[in-house]
Chain A
Amino acid sequence: MTNIRNRLGSLPWVWSFVGAFATWLVTLVVSAGQGGGQVLTAALTFSAFTVLVSLGQMLVITSGPGNVDLSIPSVIALSSAVSMLVMNEQGAMIVPGILAAVAAGAAVGLANYGLIRVLRIPPIIATLSSSLITTSVAITIGRGLKIKPPDAFANLVTGKIAGVPLLAILALLAAIAIAIVLERTVYGRTVSAIGQSRRVARLADLRVEWTRLLTYVASAGLAGLTGALIAGFAGGNSLDQGEEYLLLTIAVVVIGGTSVAGGRASVPGIWGAALFMFLIVTMLNASGIPPGLRMLFTGLIIIAVIAIGGGEKALR
């Protein structure tokens, strides 16, 4: 018994899946067993976006205590505008559009790192400041106008294979790729190393600053990609498309078992927690209780799952 608990304890992401599954079951009960499969399809679709951005957030959070990327929403606003402007409703421009979106994100990531490194601004404040600036850029570029995606692009991002959304497959592949990167590349190991101690990492001759730079670029780049995908999925860009991802990504990363103190990432947990967060809302919506109570329960359920899962194991 203790053995099982220990084993589960070392797999912190299990609890997010347990939470997601439980919520889904309750949803089924509430809706009298109706539409369970479709709820899952919807959950997969929308979690895909959450997963893509949260993977970047996870890298940043893993790179050390106090590291967090608050610029994600503004990057999504910017990159969705950039991608739609570049695509300009032409099917031929889909790939350049996506690349432009990723590049716009990466540029913001680079700026974030510059603020953190050159001006030594703590990451929270640095990314907050850059998000304000990015929002202004997005307003200037997009003028708040919505441009439609090319039909081919819209069909692609809303497409399904055997009932499974293409987006979910993409996000799954991305998650697997990042898991491999973390476990099996020098960059990935270095992210975890600097998350535990930058000083120790430097003394072990790991490339500390290069890794931090890549991490912020990767996070914003993933947000950039997601911005393009959201614009395609939602029938066009808009300034407010990313707003919900500010706190959602942090919640997903941490509920998924990544250590906020840095150094330990949990990729599967991102999927579990993303599904969980979507399904909580669905469950509470379906239950028909008033909005205030819905929020109250959302909070209580989050706290309960994290408390049952338990937190950081005591070190020696």
Chain B
Amino acid sequence: TKDMKIALSNNYAGNSWRQAMLKSWDTVTKQAVSDGVIAEAPAFTTSENQATEQAGQIQNMILQGYNAIVIDAASPTALNGAIRQACDAGIVVVTFDGIATEPCAYRIAVDFKKLGSMQIDFFKSRGLKGNLLEIRGLAGVFVDDEIHSGVESAVKADPDFKIVGSVHGNWTQTVAQKEVAGILPTLPDIVAVATQGGDGFGAAQAFKDAGRKEPVIFMGNRDDELAWWKQQKDANGYVTMSASIAPGSSAFAFWVAQKILAGDKVPQDMTLPITVVTQDNLEEQIKHTEKGSVTNVNYSRQDVSNILAEGQK
């Protein structure tokens, strides 16, 4: 595949996760290019976080003659038209993180439902019981709905928990902080907060400001979230957990695309493991996380083969 070209189509660059994702792509593809694995692998970001713009971007990539397009999709369905056109033009399409439902595309999915339900399972395992606050993402977006339905079904199945409040934090720390601060005074005691990532630290700040005792806040993978957790852990033995999707998934997707181009057989649907930080490996993870960034896993070609092989079993 040394004379082939792979492009990354990205729809948003405005937060640390996406920045880390782009960085992972950059690191891994630079290496791959200099190793002569691939001819080139540029990344493109739309100026607006919008499916229509990304669809246009993909159409241009078709014209540019890339052999494969790796997509972090703005919408699971709205790009289907453009993806179909790409497939028709003989281009390999791999979607990750934000996946697309178009059957011809490869999907590197994260089980977002599980990301929701595992939070409740964790609270349960901690022996908690009572009122929950749920912080959701951006309304109308696939990921938000998936995680939410995971949380919701788990809570429904468990009489011990009740969601007493729900706000939309838009995966943005400041928004989460603002929304939680607003609703908090109207809520009874909260034992735990279910989150979607990027919002845990904001929630913690809001609780602190309101002079309330911080409940168990499920964390994402941002450095600030882990740092706060560590600080609480050292101060008073605070226990929580973090689960997220690693920005290195872009590297994962790159290798998948490369393998397909190289002729390897790869399943249409793959699952990327959720990256988990626990009380025990917290310090370890923080050490590996760039300051101010997010916890990451940089997948090598070998890792990808291993994970795929495991998935086959």
A→B interface (CB under 8 Å): 27, 30-31, 34-39, 42-43, 45-46, 77, 132, 135, 139, 143-148, 158, 230, 233-236, 238-241, 243-244, 278-279, 281-282, 285-286, 288, 291-292, 295
Contact = CB atoms under 8 A, between A and B. Distances in A.
A285 B178 contact: no
Nearest to B177: A234
A70 to B, nearest CB: 12
A42 B184 contact: yes
Given A234-B174, A240-B14, A288 B47 contact: no
Contact of B182 (A42, A148, A288): A42
Contact of B185 (A39, A233, A295): A39
B274 interface: no
B56 interface: no
Nearest to A138: B14
A176 B172 CA distance: 31
B20 interface: yes
Interface stretch (B100-108, B123-131, B256-264, B285-293): B285-293
Q: How large is the interface on B (under 10, 10 to 19, 20 to 34, 35 or more residues)?
A: 35 or more
A48 B175 CA distance: 14
Interface string B105-135: 0000000000000000000000000000000
Interface string B222-245: 111000100000000000000000
A38 B186 CA distance: 9
25 contacts: A31-B185, A34-B185, A35-B186, A38-B184, A38-B210, A42-B181, A42-B185, A46-B181, A46-B182, A143-B19, A144-B18, A145-B292, A146-B16, A146-B222, A146-B224, A234-B173, A238-B15, A238-B16, A238-B174, A239-B13, A239-B19, A241-B172, A282-B183, A285-B167, A285-B179
B292 A146 contact: yes
A286 B210 contact: no
Interface in B183-205: 183-187, 201-202, 205
Interface centre among B15, B183, B293 (most CB of A within 10 A): B183
Interface string B1-44: 00000000000011110111000000000000000000000000
A260 B168 CA distance: 30
A295 B139 contact: yes
A239 B139 contact: no
Interface of B: 13-16, 18-20, 47, 136, 139, 165-168, 170, 172-175, 177-179, 181-187, 201-202, 205, 209-210, 222-224, 228, 290-293
A57 to B, nearest CB: 18
A265 B54 CA distance: 40
Nearest to A131: B47
Given A35-B184, A244-B172, A285-B165, 9 more contacts: A42-B181, A42-B182, A45-B209, A46-B178, A145-B291, A146-B223, A238-B172, A241-B173, A282-B182
Given A234-B177, A291-B136, A144 B182 contact: no
A135 B14 CA distance: 8
Contact of B293 (A30, A36, A46, A144): A144
A143 B26 CA distance: 13
Contact of A282 (B186, B201, B223): B186
A236 B224 contact: yes
Contacts of A139: 13, 19
